Amino acid sequence: MTDWRAVTADITTLAVDAIVNAANGTLLGGGGVDGAIHRAAGRALVEACRPLAPCPTGEARITPGFRLPAAHVIHTVGPVWHGGSAGEADLLAACYRNSLDLAANAAARSIAFPAISTGVYGYPKQEAARIAAEATRDWLAAHRDALDTLLFVGFDASSTALYAAAIAAAES
């Protein structure tokens, strides 16, 4: 059974097999968690990302972690919030499923996700947490024993609490 939980941490410091990057379509870095991951991994990450771009919304790409403690970085492009009627929920769920598929294909046993699309992309945080937890729950049910550890990483206590509540609701 997978240890599935929310934690407050700096995702760039986690010693897991894979961390997920809330990337933009160019995969070349940006603000928020994307910029932090690129800074921590070093210039080699940009060079590894160049041939993988563009990355469409909902899809994911994998690279080495370079200077990060994580062996891999899985880059996924979340949807920009347009009010909820432009397929945003399906695209956000696809980010989680596709990232988990790449992790499993890379034999990763532990993975850490940031909040995807909740920063400058404007996705409502509580709704994004619910979608993340439900998509993850469904993937884990279909891929029993694929992972040992799955973390939702909040940058502060309030974001971590949203993901902890979403996990609890998804498990009930």
pLDDT in tens, 144-157: 999 999 999 998 99
Which CATH number do you get for residue 34?
3.40.220.10
Give the residue numbers spanning the domain of 109: 3-171
pLDDT tens track for 107-130: 999 999 999 999 999 999 999 999
Q: Residues of the chain whose pLDDT is less than 50?
A: none
Among residues 3, 17, 34, 101, the one annotated as catalytic is 34
**Annotation marks residue 145 as catalytic:** no
- In this prediction, residue 1 carries a pLDDT of 81
- In this prediction, residue 5 carries a pLDDT of 97
Q: In what order do the strands lie in the sheet with 18-23?
A: 3-8, 149-154, 110-113, 18-23, 72-77, 60-64
By the 8 A CB rule, do 60 and 93 touch? no
Q: Is the pTM of this model over 0.75?
A: yes
- Counting the structural domains of the chain, the total is 1
By the 8 A CB rule, do 153 and 117 touch? no
Residue 171's alpha-carbon distances to 19, 42, 49, 112, 146, in angstroms, are 23, 38, 35, 19, 18
